[in-house]
Amino acid sequence: MRDFLKDLNKEQREAVKWVNGPVLILAGPGSGKTRVLTYKIAYLLSLGVKPWEILALTFTNKAANEMKERAIQLVGDIAKNVTIGTFHSVFAKILRQEAEKLGYTKSFTIYDQDDSLSLIRNVIKELNFSEDNVNPSLAQAKISNIKNALITPEVFLTLAENQFDEKIAQIYKAYQQSLFQRNAMDFDDLLIKSVELFETHPDVLEKYQTKFKYILVDEYQDTNRVQYVLLKMLSARHRNLCVIGDDAQSIYSWRGAEIRNILDFKNDFPECKIFKLEQNYRSTKKILRAADSVIKNNTEQILKNLWTENSEGDPIVVLECKDDKDEAEKVVHFIKEEIRKNKYNLRDFVILYRTNAQSRLFEDELRREGFPYTIVGSVAFYKRKEVKDLLAYLKVIVNPKDDESLLRIVNFPNRGIGDITIERIRAFANAKGLSLFEAMCKLYAIPGLTERARRGVYNFCILIQKYIDLKDKISAGELARALVDDIGLIRYYKQEGTPEAQQRIENIEEFLSAITEFSNENPEDGTLEKFLEEVSLVSDIDTWENKRDAVTLMTLHSVKGLEFPVVFITGLEEGLFPIVSSFYNIKELEEERRLFYVGMTRAMKKLYLSYAKRRMKAGNMFEQRRSRFLDEIPIELVIQHTSKDDRRARIYETSRVRSQALNLSVGLLVEHEIFGIGIVREISGYGDNTRVLVDFENFGRKLLLLKYANLKVITL
């Protein structure tokens, strides 16, 4: 075996070789974090540690696959037997093995966000709550946060401070009961039920504690409460827990991530050894200095001194744009300029934005220029309607108790099973304590069904039962192909005859290729259940490959872990980035700054930052103010491209009031002598008729005539 440790710098090598006891590796952006984790796995194997004694946890399948492939290159096929995967995939496998101890079967369904939302809608309806009063998406997000804090429905009900929380508690309880009845778990349950399993079955916990002697965790700053608890439980026996991450890149609090997990690691494990990886291999000196200057404005952080041996590089370019359309034009213009001057490929560029809605103008401009582009986070392949329909058929075949999947396809293609029929079947099922499919199989005992409906239900039951019987006799690929023929899905779309229908046919054919490929590559364990599990755990970033020569567009939250030669961060305006909600909350503001830092440190050679002086929202144009983050970059590192609009300036100068309005912009904090402190939401009108819509903290929204409002701007 070659001495692969020679590939590492001094700090990386020391971090890899320290294998006993808890270890915290603080890894700045571009410092070789994945390399260190991979080499640590290889080093453990070289010491004689058995591959099945190592557990490595990541946050994306892409990262897990990359880690395993690199480890195999270093030490050979022995690394294939190391357990490397995402938190959700690893604990889903554990739950498959142990499901019956929690009252589930091994074939439980994993509900994605759409399935979960559909079930919550049904629960709200069954509880006779109005969606006007309880938004299903809001309820879903709230329940997810409650679950990830390991709070049960009963406990949350005791914590409820108002009627809305009481309703959420009822929805939460009914939702969990409905999932259990359907033999289903949502994403959150894959971790929460693992905690429940370990708490209620100490022998099972001991089995996995004994098995996994060395636990390695990537992106530790992104762990939430339940992941933290699972790691403490699993590592309690051997205490060989190695976590690697960067507190300055903690950007997922909105989905439950707790920055305190990494900040307090040394308190949880007082004997821990700490290593800092501060050499950056990715960015130029100017980009690194700019990012470092920004992040040092945060108070809640572990100080690091990032440095690089890379070149000084070009200054950061700040683009001041007249409006959001001008911003899109300027960004595409500079992409063309970079290609002309520096011979970049289109795949070398990424356009980043704070919200998905910002992508449209960039798409329009790229299309006008004939530049191909890829959007990460658009409708993912496995979320397209025709693919979701096929998946629903397969889910019902694997788990006939999955009522949500059944409702999706029971009358598609049309079988004459309408809403009234479904309600009568549902009433019968509820009365008898049956799943919908079990009730359908007793269709002649269900009163009030028409002959046409009975025929449709009968044919559906026969179809599903046929494939339940075939499931373990033929491969997943063969079953899917036969099913598509049986239900006439391709014929159905051919008869529709539209370009959209043709695209759906192509997606169905691509799906059949995917499941066939899966079957062929996994001849021993390529079951239908296994395929559905893998598909349910695919994220947007897992399906993105930077092989096609196209400009990439994505949100800043999606770009973590990636790098590009040229990065554009757009929409740097107060109220957009940083987002409005962060104005009242220092923790949120610091997370917005970390998000900006993440975006900046994706750039290898060139960084562009852009903002619009005006932005179109809901059909109206609003004044904008450049982001405070731009002013945190040292001026000597920046080249500013300004926008000249003399005609607009002359219009403003004709009005004293409008001149006052120039000092205001959407997102600014202001103070009114009666209403107190608020945020500027809109500015409209001209001259003496200029009006300002302000969202006051204690008085709600007020539309004020600017000339009489006497507002004072508050600077943080």
Binding site as annotated, residues for ATP: 27-34
Q: Is 219 a catalytic residue?
A: yes
Question: What angle do helix axes 136-148 and 225-235 make, rounded to 10 degrees?
Answer: 30
Residue ranges at the known binding site? 27-34
Q: Is 602 a catalytic residue?
A: yes
Assess whether the previous peptide bond of 447 is cis (omega < 30° from 0).
Answer: no
Which of the following is catalytic: 11, 12, 33, 404? 33
CB 564 within 8 A of CB 282: no
- The helix/strand/coil state of 584 is helix
Which of the following is catalytic: 182, 304, 347, 602? 602
What's phi and psi for 18, nearest 5 deg? -85, 105
Which of the following is catalytic: 98, 112, 189, 219? 219
The residue with tokens 């026996």 is 237
CB 240 within 8 A of CB 53: no
CA quadruple 232, 238, 239, 240: dihedral sign: negative
Which of the following is catalytic: 11, 98, 112, 218? 218
CB 596 within 8 A of CB 590: no
Closest C-alpha to 560, from 138, 257, 110:
257
- The helix/strand/coil state of 605 is strand
Burial of 57 (0-12, 13-18, 19+ CB in 10 A): buried
Structure tokens that stand for 684 in this block: 């409209």
Q: Is 249 a catalytic residue?
A: yes
Gyration radius of the chain's alpha carbons: 28
What's phi and psi for 315, nearest 5 deg? -65, 160
Distances (CA, A) of 350 to 185, 234, 250, 376, 662: 36, 39, 21, 10, 32
CA quadruple 529, 535, 536, 538: dihedral sign: positive
Structure tokens that stand for 101 in this block: 């101890």
How many other C-beta atoms can be found within 10 angstroms of the C-beta atom of residue 647? 7
Q: Is 34 a catalytic residue?
A: yes
Catalytic residue numbers read: 33-34, 218-219, 249, 602
